[in-house]
Structure 1
Amino acid sequence: MHKNPVRRATIPRGINGLFPSGVLNARCEEGVGMERTRRGITGKSRGNSLFSLIVVMAWGIAMWTGWGLAAEEVPHGKGTHGRDEVLVKFWEDVEDQTKWDLHARAKAKRVKNFTIVRGLELVKVPDTTKIEEAIRLYGESDAVVYAEPNYIVQGQAVPNDPSYGSLWGLQRIDSPGAWNLSIGNSGVVVGVADSGIDYNHPDLSANAWRNPLECDKNGLDDDGNGYRDDCYGIDTFSHDSDPMDDNGHGTHVAGIIGAVGNNGVGVAGVNWNVSVAACRFLGSDGTGTISGAIECLQYFKSLKEKGVNIVATNNSWVIVDYSGEPGPFSRAIYDAVEEHRKAGILFIAAAGNRSLNNDITPTYPASNYQSNVISVAATTSGDGLATFSNYGPGTVHLGAPGLSILSTAPHNDYAWMSGTSMAAPHVSGVAALLKAYNPELDWKAIKNLILAGGDSV
């Protein structure tokens, strides 16, 4: 299949003198195939790592400010979902008694009530009730806006080749010039919704976000946010407040965004200084549910409302069907991302690893037509589109390094991984770096700066 030409977007000198000319490549997916190594990186000075950011933009995409399509205009499909869980969105003025009556008719039990999307509930139905029947029953009620399965999501893995060497992604983004202007700021926060983070890793610990009221391990919810001792974030997969990574994907993503720089060991992230807040919703096998993702987005939004300077969330996962192919559109995810837009938070997402044109075969949530979404493809060290990467001139905004990327791994280790999951955090890192350099930038300005000024590749 012929793929549309892409543009390599440089970060021009002319944008208020913000960065010297450079390029940003991004692409991120779950890298279950990884090679762990310490050889050749321990004791390496980060000051020698280059920071040229190569942005590969879909042809014709330069700057985007429109609000996009309404959720109803996005097609639905069949996807993998938990056999006994449904997400139900009630109209905001519906009384509790009406909700209870509907749950009783469906023989369902409410499991969770979300605050990020008003009226959204997660319910569990008995084994004797088919999901399709429960959705039909809820959908027939005038009290319900929509009902949908609790779809499965996963990080995206592809085979990788460690022979590309270390840190080529940063070498492609001309790091010395950018780092001469800003190395980041610990007051800028990126939320990572993933498999968690190894917050004890020597290359991540200093840049792991900490909740100042919750790190005393007293078993209490000191800040009143509904989670006890959420020092580093939360775990919506295991339903606790410890987002420790037991898969490796989230730790790798976090290192790309913000492995500590200039500390004489390991690797460097796009930001030497930053705060990475963790929400674990993918399990050890790299899969989770959209209800877990929504709770992560809800958590990050609540932090923003409490004054935490969250500029973006990194979302290196896609909704899948039973075969691992792209799954259906989720209205609940759409609504949660819309609440992030209202809160001023960018939603940076992996475009997917199936070599698909997302304009024809959407990959959600990256394909959501929402103004705060940035969909990221994966590129190679030669600035080409990675063979596994999804693309699309209308729905994929840019590309970033995503093939054989060296970053942090659990248990004080390092690994090469490939995927759009590795590309997206390059872009998330750039968003944080821009915010660190100019705290007055809002999410729209940051997005436009990232997408502006493309070079054809």
Structure 2
Amino acid sequence: MSRSSRTRRLSAGLAVAALALTAAGAATAAQAAPSAPATTTAAPAAPGVLMNYVVNTKAGKGHAKKVAKAIEAAGGTVVQSYDQIGVLIAQSTNPNFRTAVRSGREGREVQSVGATRTAAVSEGPVGTAKKTVAQRLAADEAAVVPDPREGEQWDMVQIKADQAHRITDGSRQVLVGINDSGVDDAHPDLAPNFDAANSVNCTGNGIPDQTAGGWRPTTSAHGTHVAGTVAAARNGVGIVGVAPGVRIASVKVVNDDGYIYPEYSICGFVWAAERGMDVTNHSYFIDPWQFWCDDNGDQGAVQESVRRAVSFATKKGVLSVAAAGNSNYDLSNKTTDTTSPNDSTAVTRTISNDCLDLPTELPGVITVASTTQARAKSLFSNFGLRTIDVAAPGSSILSTMPGGGYAPMSGTSMASPHVAGVAALMKSTHPWWSPRDLERALWRQADDTACPATPDARCTGTTANNAFYGEGIVDALDAVKRTW
């Protein structure tokens, strides 16, 4: 994604919710008749702004039901329940919701609770958001050119996809989820491979919505561009994707203002797991924090919720691939964050490596850095020894655009779908492989890439595995030719 893709969304028009919690208890025990079980209700509080929360409990319907009661007693509403991972998405205007939901017998089932944003929930377009979306998701966007451009796809040559296609274009049995801003399923290069039955819109508070067309882009071309890199069809039109024979589904997790809040991303991971997807691409970071710190109440709860969603997807057979980000930041040596939260007022804070870029730094997620045509690290690409798994082309990548056109875009957002496409080719030739098998094979097939000849102190490690390229630049030919 561009970390102009996954970079700061500024939203000056949104109301800002206070983060401070009241230290005193927020619930009082209600008196009950001797024959009735005791109940607990939250203390009255002046209504605040409408906020969304993740509430974590043990997996299973029984635990979720109890927590749902605690949410209701605290003045909240359950908008979505993921019993299978013990995560509920709640809404409330109670400023003391975090404390109140833990009160009483049912509240003891709550393991952690956290706000998913710092700005109030808003349904309409806000301030300069659309301008910000364009800045984030299109770092190098050119005029749409509606004619065949396959000969300009240097990226496919770099990863040897053109050679891999002589062996296979991929299997129709393989399904790749494009977890992004929506996909133009009418594009002539995408329509042949598009799977509407497994597409969804998760941007309504994280509630999966299969309304026809809801998965399409509204304010951003980003998801359509990503989709083309993964699987633009071999049909004599335009370009060819890394895996032009596989199917793709749109899992829309970016709202019209350009935000990817935790509840949207969680919805996307669980949806992919339950729909039997093989690979998903995540060219974004979860808003509003560039890094979610586990020693912060809200951020720690969200980090745990997303971790559960990713783990659930992995156990269900989904390999998750994600962009490393576009801040030219060392993910293995975090010190400060000056850009978060991006939905209200950013602050400068000291951070550590326990603060994670979500979802790319979670266990089981393939973290992808970006390369140029010269096989060098893209200037914008994040890096980090033992954080970056592999690298792929991400600078000025030609792909599909809404309305039937084509244009180049830059970012690790563009690198990640190359790796998702290679993983889809692997799954096509080794359908029995698990996500862990695919992960190991991606490491092994990658072409070792040394640090720059001109010494760069940031590129630590060896030729076999370093901070800029991880295990190396992915190799689609080896991915389909060799048995790992």
User: TM-score, normalized by length of structure 1?
Assistant: 0.70
User: CA 1:245/1:115 → structure 2, altered by over 3 Å: closer, same or farther?
Assistant: farther
Query: Is the 1:158–1:353 Cα contact (8 Å) retained in structure 2?
Result: no
Query: Does residue 87 of structure 1 match 2:87?
Result: no
> How far apart are 1:166 and its partner, in Å?
3.1
Give the 3-state SS of the residue equivalent to 1:399 in structure 2. Answer: strand
Matched, 1:142 2:142: no
Q: Once the 2 structures are TM-superposed, how far is the Cα of residue 142 of structure 1 from its aligned partner?
A: 2.6
Amino acid at match of 2:269: L
Query: What do the CA deviations read for 1:32-90 (whole angstroms, capped 9, x no partner)?
Result: 99xxxxxxxxxxxxxxxxxxxxxxxxxxxxxxxxxxxxxxxxxxxx9xxx951111112
Counterpart in the other structure of 2:384: 392
Q: Which residue of 1 aligns with 2:140?
A: 160
> Is the contact between residue 30 and residue 249 of structure 1 (CA under 8 Å) also seen in structure 2?
no
Q: Size of the alignment, in residue pairs? A: 349
Which of 291, 302, 308 is residue 335 of structure 1 equivalent to? Answer: 308
Q: Secondary structure at the match of 1:123?
A: strand
Are 1:166 and 1:405, in contact at CA under 8 Å, matched by a contact in 2? no
- Counterpart of 1:260 in structure 2: which amino acid? A
1:234-266 Cα shifts (integer Å, max 9, x gaps): 1122544331122111111100000012x2221
- Seen in structure 2, the aligned counterparts of structure 1 residues 240 and 150 have a Cα distance that, compared at 3 Å, is farther
Matched ranges for 1:340-379 at <5 A:
340-361=313-334, 362-368=356-362, 370=363, 372-379=364-371
In the TM superposition, what is the alpha-carbon distance from 1:288 to its structure 2 partner? 2.8
How far 1:210 sits from its partner (Å)?
A: 4.0
Structure 1 CA distance for aligned equivalents of residues 416 and 50 of structure 2 = 31
**How far does residue 278 in structure 1 lie from its aligned partner after superposition?**
1.1
For 1:92 and 1:311, how far apart are their aligned partners in 2? 24
- Supply the AA of the counterpart residue of 2:90: V
When residues 30 and 455 of structure 1 are mapped into structure 2, their CA distance, relative to the original with a 3 A threshold, is: same
Alignment check: 8 A CA contact 1:281 1:292 kept: yes
**Cα pair 1:378 1:399 within 8 Å, conserved:** yes
User: Which fold has the larger relative contact order, with Cα–Cα distance below 8 Å and residues 6 or more apart in sequence?
Assistant: 1
Give distance in 1, aligned partners of 2:83 and 2:64: 15
Residues 376 and 423 of structure 1 are in contact (CA less than 8 Å); yes or no, is this contact kept in structure 2? yes
SS in structure 1 of the partner of residue 171 of structure 2: strand
How far apart are the structure 1 equivalents of 2:203 and 2:253? 5
1:172 alignment partner AA: Q
For residue 437 of structure 1, what is the aligned residue in structure 2? 429
**Matching residue of 2:28:** none
Q: Which letter does structure 2 place at the counterpart of 1:292?
A: Y
Aligned-partner Cα distance in 1 for 2:260–2:309: 17
CA distance in 1 between partners of 2:269 and 2:411 (Å)? 23
Q: Following TM superposition, by how much is the alpha carbon of 1:139 offset from its aligned partner in structure 2, in angstroms?
A: 5.1
Whether 1:269 aligns to 2:241 is yes
Letter in 2 for 1:256: T
Equivalent residue, structure 1, for 2:185: 199
Change (3 A) 1:152 1:444: farther
Task: Check if 1:122 corresponds to 2:89.
Answer: yes
Percent identity reads 28
What amino acid sits opposite 1:367 in the alignment? E
- 2-structure distance, mates of 1:272, 1:97: 44
| Alpha-carbon spacing, 1:91–1:441, altered in 2? closer, same or farther (3 Å) | closer
Point out where structure 1 has 5 or more consecutive residues left out of the alignment.
1-26, 34-77, 212-231, 305-309
The residue aligned with 2:410 is: 418
**Runs of 5+ consecutive residues of structure 2 not aligned to the other structure:** 8-18, 20-48, 120-131, 144-150, 294-298, 335-355, 451-484
| CA apart distance, 1:441 | 2.5
**Which residue number corresponds to residue 187 of structure 1?**
173
**Distance of aligned partners of 1:429 and 1:84 in 2 relative to their CA distance in 1, 3 Å threshold:** same
Shift of 1:106: 2.1
Partner of 1:38: none
* Contact 2:371-2:392 within 8 A present in 1 as well: yes
CA–CA distance in 2 between the matches of 1:343 and 1:170? 30
Residue 199 of structure 2 corresponds to residue 233 of structure 1? yes
Task: Give the corresponding residue for 2:466.
Answer: none
Counterpart check, 1:427 vs 2:419: yes
Cα deviations by residue, 1:336-367 (Å, 9 ceiling, x for unpaired):
00001211211111111111111123422111
Separation in structure 2 between the aligned mates of residue 264 and residue 96 of structure 1, nearest angstrom? 51
**Other structure's SS at 1:171 match:** helix
Map of 1:407 onto structure 2:
399
CA contact (8 A) 1:158 1:388 kept: no
1:178 aligns with 2:141: no
Which residue pairs with 1:285 in the alignment? 257
Distance of 1:31 and 1:166 partners within structure 2: 23
> Structure 2 counterpart of 1:159, which letter?
A
* The one of 375, 383, 399 aligned to 2:375: 383
The CA deviation string for residues 204-253 of structure 1, in whole angstroms up to 9 with x for no partner, is 00011243xxxxxxxxxxxxxxxxxxxx5111225443311221111111
Q: Which has the larger radius of gyration?
A: 2
Inter-partner Cα distance in structure 1 for 2:89 and 2:176: 27
* Aligned residue number for residue 312 of structure 1: 279
Of 245, 252, 261, which residue of structure 1 is paired with 2:225? Answer: 252
Separation in 2 of the partners of 1:121 and 1:202?
39
Closer/same/farther in 2, CA of residues 312 and 115 from structure 1, 3 Å limit: farther
CA distance in 1, matches of 2:394, 2:154: 10
**What secondary structure sits across from 2:116 in the alignment?**
strand
TM-score, normalised by the number of residues in structure 2: 0.66
Aligned residues: CA RMSD: 2.9
Alignment correspondent of 1:294:
266
Describe the SS at the equivalent of 1:191.
strand
Looking at secondary structure, tell me which structure has more strand per residue: 1
Q: Deviations over 1:374-407 (max 9, x none)?
A: 0111111111111111111121211111111110
In structure 2, distance between residues paired with 1:364 and 1:83: 24
Displacement after TM superposition at 1:143 (Å): 1.1
Q: Contact (CA 8 Å) 2:199, 2:210: kept in 1 or not? A: no
Q: Which residue of 2 aligns with 1:21?
A: none
Check 1:172–1:321 CA distance in 2 against 1; reply closer, same or farther (3 A cut).
Answer: same
Q: Which residue of 2 aligns with 1:102?
A: 70
Which residue matches 2:472?
Answer: none
User: Post-superposition shift, 1:31?
Assistant: 4.9
Residues 152 and 406 of structure 1: CA distance in aligned 2, closer, same or farther (over 3 Å): farther
Over residues 258-286 of structure 1, what are the superposed CA-to-partner deviations in whole Å (9 max), with x where a residue is unaligned?
0012x222111001211001111212332
Which amino acid is 2:111 matched to?
V
Matches of 1:158 and 1:410, distance apart in 2? 13
